[in-house]
Amino acid sequence: MKNSNASSAAGLAAGLGCLVVPLIIVLSPIIFFIYMIDTYKKEIFFGSFYIIYASIKVLVLEVPASNFPYGVLLFIGVILYGSMMIPKIRTLYDELPVLIPFLQMCFLMLIASIIGFYIINAWADNQTYAKVEAVLLTVTTFVLMRLLMSFWYYSFPISSMITREEEQDIQAIQVNGGSVSQTPLPHGWMHKNLVLFALIFVFFLTIFFLSKTPPVLDTDKLMKEQISREAAAGAILFYDEEKNGIQAKNFEVPVLTRSVSTRMLIWDYNLEDNDKVQILVDGKPIHDSIVLTNTPVAFTVPVPSVITIKGIQDQGGGLTYAVKFPQTRYTFFNIVAVNGVNTYTLKPTP
């Protein structure tokens, strides 16, 4: 009797396994698809237009933005390539051939815009390039991508004409007793390959971008040293109002170019609670009262000079903030009391 019950339980478990596993396989991509669409609406539906807007915003505000979620680019590429490979969906392209170049161009221009966005962000965060260089490199990326598309469609046009090889394939199918319901798109495989090549490029591009992601910051070490060359602008160390042993300090900022102004980014690296500070350059205020948030704000300051950060209003928990000078990549984490001051002495290269 016990053996019979055990066998029944094992059979039931096996039956459930046979049902659950296929269900997971079927539902997982659907759930992932819904998640991506819901989470990244602007990136997916507005594509390169949204990225171009974000790039212009970075240039105007001179503050880096969050990096593009590169998984979205892979997701879009896989969906596009899959739609060209699945027969039932592919018929849509047969009926509306214009969709092929349109979607391909959208995808390729999205790739170009993301590369440009990365370049501009690199300037804004670490001044990897000069501002003019970043803009020129971005424009060059768009031009090269557009030239590539022009060359591709010139070499493999989508028109009512089909190639001799494709015509021979149709005749071979008919000779062997098969039927062709409609004329295939010319250079169909080449246009699928274009998306495939782009998808492979995106895969390696994503690996490259991820390799450049700033490392996870050691908050304990940072609170002791209060200085880092690895922190990205806007880095948040705590999500509660914590001092964590940080002390008010004055800093010297070396290796700056003499007689050339430099950018200074300032933000609240702690819980955002709308603390206020005043910023002075050589004793003269350049901003009487700035509300600190987790989003950096940029100021242009001369070199050499002494920057003073004065506490104006503390909403509780300590008036904590971070200052970054992209030209040197130095980020300073500090705290200031109301009516207290911290100074940053900008020293040019000897």
Q: Give the SS3 label for residue 277.
A: strand
Q: Which residue has the higher pLDDT, 23 or 262?
A: 262
pLDDT of res. 118 = 93
- Give the contacts of 157 (CB within 8 A, at least 6 positions apart): 186, 187
DSSP letters, 50-84, are HHHHHHHHHHHHT---PPP-HHHHHHHHHHHHHHH
In the chain, beta strands by DSSP E: 227-228, 251-256, 262-267, 276-281, 284-291, 297-301, 305-313, 319-325, 330-336, 341-348
Q: Which residue has the higher pLDDT, 9 or 90?
A: 90
pLDDT of res. 162 = 46
pLDDT of res. 2 = 44
Amino acid at 318: G
pLDDT tens track for 267-289: 999 888 889 999 999 999 998 88
pTM: 0.80
For residue 72, which of 101, 105, 37 has the smallest C-alpha distance? 37
72-99 mean pLDDT: 82
H-type alpha helices, 214-301:
219-225
Are 156 and 187 contacting, i.e. CB atoms less than 8 angstroms apart? yes
- Give the contacts of 93 (CB within 8 A, at least 6 positions apart): 83, 84, 99, 100, 185
pLDDT of res. 226 = 92
**CB atoms closer than 10 angstroms to residue 276:** 17
For residue 209, which of 294, 106, 117 has the smallest C-alpha distance? 117
pLDDT tens track for 202-219: 999 989 888 888 778 888
Q: Which residue has the higher pLDDT, 160 or 45?
A: 45
For residue 324, which of 280, 270, 265 has the smallest C-alpha distance? 265
Q: Which two tokens stand for residue 292?
A: 């600190």
Q: Which two tokens stand for residue 220?
A: 């304990």
Nearest 10 degrees: Cα torsion 41, 43, 49, 52: 140
- Give the contacts of 343 (CB within 8 A, at least 6 positions apart): 250, 251, 306, 307, 308, 309
Is the pLDDT at 14 greater than 70, yes or no? no
Q: Give the SS3 label for residue 338.
A: strand
pLDDT tens track for 226-262: 999 989 999 988 877 666 778 999 999 987 777 778 9
C-alpha count within 13 angstroms, C-beta hemisphere, residue 149: 20
Is the pLDDT at 306 greater than 80, yes or no? yes
Token pair 């221009």: residue: 109
pLDDT, mean over the chain? 82
* 29-37 contacts at long range (C-beta below 8 A, 24 or more positions apart): 33/79, 36/71, 36/72, 36/75
Is the pLDDT at 181 greater than 60, yes or no? no
Angle between helices 131-155 and 99-126 (to 10 degrees): 160
What whole-number percentage of the chain has pLDDT above 70? 81
Is the pLDDT at 342 greater than 80, yes or no? yes
340-350 mean pLDDT: 91
pLDDT tens track for 122-179: 999 999 888 999 999 999 999 999 999 899 888 887 654 444 555 555 555 455 555 4
pLDDT of res. 165 = 54
Beta pairing partners, 279: 287, 309
Q: Are strands 341-348 and 251-256 parallel, antiparallel or unpaired?
A: parallel
Q: Which of the residue ranges 121-135, 175-189, 302-316 would you say has the lowest mean pLDDT? A: 175-189
- Give the contacts of 215 (CB within 8 A, at least 6 positions apart): 230
